[in-house]
Homo-oligomer: A and B are copies of this chain.
């Protein structure tokens, strides 16, 4: 028979114990940090109705970008490619019972059908952090604080990342103020500004000029990209967006977080979804200087599910692959494999197994990770096993030690060996 391939499916990963330990460390830091800030974890199913994504992105795009299929009941299903539709469904289902503002997070695994490349895999995990049901700047502040807190929990500092912040209400108002356009006209200008970095300069200027903008107006918009928040908001001081930006930056300064943050007029994040604060977190490493993840405020989370109900949200999504790249680039990944005590109790065939299991019980009761060597092999093989398995110590008790009521403890790092009474093994390792 033809043997099967041992490779995981394209764009997915196997997590052997070493990688899994690292993941558990990554995710543990996230949980610890967010729970300390009273965010609560949730999760939904991997499979959802395809219509959840079709309603948001159109049927064609939803089918193209997701793994989808029809079940035997004729229902179109997709493996979730993102979490927002699921959480929107969950909030809509209990809209009258939930305790707003909700501070929620999730670290779901999800699938996107795309060509695997650096930083983008088909199976990935994504931290989703959101506050639902509070539409003032305090919620924006809280989620931005949480993103900074997560990165700081890994040991990242202000030389390594920066949160670039803008506001979509301000964006609309400042364009109207500079160009003197009505809503319709501002929208047209916004579309050109949104494309600014993706098109040649001449095309940009030509498009802006065709919309009736003067050279001076184009210069003024250019200048916004390097301005601080005070100068930028001075163009439209009465704009709700300006006030939100100023309140947010004031609060960031008051809490000492301003060193991690900057105003950046270049952050737009698509024109159709976000409605207030928007932000992107940049990796400051010269070789990797780009947006790692981002988020912002959006209105009407539950619109697809509930009539006559509006819940706003503000949040962000951070992919595990991006996060890992960041931590590796900045050397923030500790040697989790070799942290802490891990004891192997070696086994000799002239000693009854219960003598060893008693030692194992003693060590585990003291909270020390312990394994009895499984089976009987030559002592050298057991030591090899301990070294390769990242054990820190080996407890050695053969027939001659048993007679004297002692055991040897070998420290595998220092290679030192000490003798202790059997009853003192745990305390001498504590």
CB of A93 within 8 A of CB of B307, answer no
Return A319 CB to nearest CB of chain B, in Å. Answer: 16
CB of A99 within 8 A of CB of B389, answer yes
Given A47-B9, A101-B375, A254-B352, also A21-B40 (CB < 8 A):
yes
A5 CA to B304 CA, complexed, in Å: 9
Given A16-B90, A42-B20, A99-B388, also A37-B370 (CB < 8 A):
yes
Given A3-B307, A9-B77, A375-B134, also A14-B93 (CB < 8 A):
yes
CB of B8 within 8 A of CB of A44, answer yes
> Digit string of A1-27 for contact with B (CB within 8 Å is 1, else 0)?
001111111101111110011011000
Most B Cβ at <10 Å: residue of A51, A67, A352? A67
A17 CA to B31 CA, complexed, in Å: 13
A291 CA to B370 CA, complexed, in Å: 30
Partner of A306 from B3, B37, B43 at Cβ < 8 Å: B3
Given A67-B47, A103-B374, also A52-B4 (CB < 8 A):
yes
Q: How many copies does the complex hold?
A: 2
CB of A41 within 8 A of CB of B14, answer no
Return A325 CB to nearest CB of chain B, in Å. Answer: 20
CB of A44 within 8 A of CB of B20, answer no
Inside 8 A of A68's CB, which chain B residues have their CB?
A: 69
Inside 8 A of A103's CB, which chain B residues have their CB?
A: 371, 374
A225 within 8 A of B: no
A94 within 8 A of B: yes
Most B Cβ at <10 Å: residue of A21, A40, A77, A374? A374
CB of A49 within 8 A of CB of B5, answer yes
A111 within 8 A of B: yes
Return A115 CB to nearest CB of chain B, in Å. Answer: 11
Most B Cβ at <10 Å: residue of A43, A89, A111? A43
CB within 8 Å of B: which A100-119 residues: 100-101, 103-104, 109, 111, 113
Given A14-B45, A375-B101, also A4-B304 (CB < 8 A):
yes
A123 within 8 A of B: yes
CB of B14 within 8 A of CB of A138, answer no
CB within 8 Å of B: which A343-368 residues: 344, 347, 352-354, 357-358, 361, 364, 367-368
Inside 8 A of A371's CB, which chain B residues have their CB?
A: 37-38, 103
A246 within 8 A of B: no
A299 CA to B123 CA, complexed, in Å: 31
Partner of A17 from B13, B40, B254 at Cβ < 8 Å: B40
CB of A385 within 8 A of CB of B9, answer no
CB of A374 within 8 A of CB of B3, answer no
A44 CA to B123 CA, complexed, in Å: 10
Partner of A8 from B14, B45, B99 at Cβ < 8 Å: B45
CB of B46 within 8 A of CB of A46, answer yes
Given A9-B47, A131-B374, A255-B357, also A364-B36 (CB < 8 A):
yes
CB of B46 within 8 A of CB of A79, answer yes
Inside 8 A of A333's CB, which chain B residues have their CB?
A: none
Nearest-neighbor residue (CB-CB) of A38 within chain B = B371
A92 CA to B14 CA, complexed, in Å: 12
Q: A: which residues have CB within 8 A of B?
A: 3-10, 12-17, 20-21, 23-24, 31, 35-38, 40-49, 51-52, 55, 67-69, 71-73, 75, 77, 79, 89-90, 92-94, 99-101, 103-104, 109, 111, 113, 123, 131, 134-136, 138-139, 142, 251, 254-255, 304-307, 342, 344, 347, 352-354, 357-358, 361, 364, 367-372, 374-376, 385, 388-389
**Which are the 9 A-B pairs with shortest beta-carbon distances?**
A254-B354, A38-B371, A12-B45, A17-B40, A6-B93, A69-B69, A99-B388, A15-B43, A255-B357
Known A9-B45, A38-B369, A254-B354; 6 more pairs at CB < 8 Å: A20-B40, A35-B369, A38-B370, A103-B371, A251-B353, A254-B352
